[in-house]
Structure 1
């Protein structure tokens, strides 16, 4: 079945090849139908030759029509229609002459030049067949053009989609780099070169991960957490013992596919608005589990939280959370949820629900 589908796709991919397939198959089908119809009458065996010659004549006459139709393709439809009808009738009349000539001169009476005008008989019936051929030609041609335009539209949409995702994620990097480079600069100024070197090394590994994984790519959650640990190691140089992180992943959740670096802006938000504001430091917790066909990813902190409805942070906060929501929307459409709530007894809770996809 797959071999047949591959062979059929091979024929469709080349329009010239596809035309000759339909051209040959169509006229062969015409000959077979005509021959089966002749079996209902008492016809001599030589009539099969007449049928073959008639089908072959139709095959040859319609080949120039193809190239003629190509040349007039761009004409105004008002002009195109009468030109096509005229060309169709000329082809039909020519075919009728050849068909009648072979019938009367070979099958019936032999060579009779004085009766050649009689060969135009049945040209109207031939016209209907030629008109059907022309209709099929233009119908298939327009269908192919429609498919081309649809493919171009899909490709343009896909490229715009990818560009949007890249823009959303790469907007996060300058902010993160600014903070990290400032921290490294501070460490160098206070002569803590070993710590500065560690931060540079971890930053290099983190950025390598970021470059190796496109914004449209999904990776197993366990790999996402590994990259997140690099980011947290960088932040621990700044916060030392004030930053505590707890990660709890179920076995199924570990192999769940998630957008690359989807957690980093969530953690960055917790560090900025929770850990940094607490003298004694605080805790960030990451939990992930699979429920039914959904992956539930939760990030909570024990910071001061927000007053009122936490959801308004998405509209009034920085780019991190809003971009995360927009990335999820671009990747999953409406099949996701992204919510912020106050955590009990204190802090902020971020919940992400996305379709569960298991890594190979």
Structure 2
């Protein structure tokens, strides 16, 4: 057993042991209070209670041994009942001898009385044993729940890591293809600059800290590095507008959340249009939620289905939102019309990093 578990066990045992026997003593006093008793009888009751208290320590070691060996509950209680009766006889004898010593009149010792009275003490001690096993069972159930929650959290963290690393190669391969195109089209200076920008972006995105979220400000910095690379590809065909209120910058969002959505807009709109187009990124607070909109000019051949079919970006984004925020706490909605296509995100407004994958309400 780990050493740190020993103090915790005794901290939980002593308050229950002392508190339980104190309550039992008070209940006994209330029961016998209305009746008149001689001093010897009172001392006999005190001796019985005291001996029961010390007998419970013997039962404690017995119960702990039976529990550690995994003895079935019925057999364990049966063994405890036998020992409790034996201890009950001892407690009854102690009580009777105390009365005989302090009584004003001569009292005799009767074994039949001791054996019969021991049943009452036995029931008390057996109740103590049942309470011990009940508490141990409750603690075991709670420990199993904690372990299950820890396992589930680990599984969610692993899934988030898998989703995160699945997005990165997707983006990197696209960028490498763009660099290859620049080399083939005999544009070495642009290709060199794009490689330099990609290296800077790699340093940022490949690092994965203990938190699943970053501030929107940091996420936009990554987006800016990505857009710098894309501006090299598209030149004046790509226009970007960012409108984020100051209060939204400190809100936390999942790492690498926006880049796949912006890449989606470039692939299905800007890249298909000879004239290019504009991408607008806006963020504001809506009550206790963060609203992020990514809008782009549409190309006449573009459709909502085209965006939907871009499985890696949107599917993984939805999966990550579900893992971090829960099934219904974050939304991703696509809409189009009037020459614009919009991806709208609504997230719970949090200002602290999400260290593990526990659902944020």
TM class by shorter chain equals 0.7 to 0.9
What does the per-residue CA deviation read over 1:20-62, in whole Å, with 9 as the maximum and x for residues that have no partner? 4433443344345445655554342744751453234422331
Q: How many residues align?
A: 343
Whole-Å separation in 2 of the counterparts to 1:168 and 1:219:
16
Higher relative contact order (CA 8 A, sep 6+): 2
Match of 2:51 in 1: 54
Matched residue of 1:42: which SS?
coil
Aligned runs of 1:23-102 on 2, under 5 Å? 23-34=17-28, 40=34, 41-44=36-39, 46-47=43-44, 50-51=47-48, 53-70=50-67, 73-75=70-72, 80-81=73-74, 83-102=75-94
Counterpart contact for 1:284–1:302, Cα < 8 Å: yes
Describe the shift of the 1:91–1:305 C-alpha distance in structure 2 as closer, same or farther (beyond 3 A): farther
Of 271-280 and 12-21, more deviation after overlay is shown by 12-21
Which of 242, 248, 251 in structure 2 is aligned with 1:247? 242
Cα distance, 1:112 vs structure 2 = 9.6
For the pair 1:137 / 2:116, whether they are aligned, the reply is: no
Of 253-262 and 88-97, more deviation after overlay is shown by 88-97
Match of 1:353 in 2: 346
Whole-Å separation in 2 of the counterparts to 1:142 and 1:90:
22
Match of 1:107 in 2: 99
Aligned runs of 1:114-263 on 2, under 5 Å? 115-116=110-111, 118-187=113-182, 194-213=189-208, 217-263=212-258
Matched residue of 1:277: which SS?
coil
- TM (norm. structure 1) is 0.83
Of 317-326 and 59-68, more deviation after overlay is shown by 59-68
- TM (norm. structure 2) is 0.82
Cα distance, 1:229 vs structure 2 = 0.3
Matched residue of 1:274: which SS?
helix
Counterpart contact for 1:306–1:348, Cα < 8 Å: no
Query: Where does structure 2 lack aligned partners over 5 or more consecutive residues?
Result: 354-361
Q: CA RMSD in A?
A: 3.1
Query: Where does structure 1 lack aligned partners over 5 or more consecutive residues?
Result: 1-9
Cα distance, 1:323 vs structure 2 = 1.2
Which of 255, 267, 274 in structure 1 is aligned with 2:262? 267
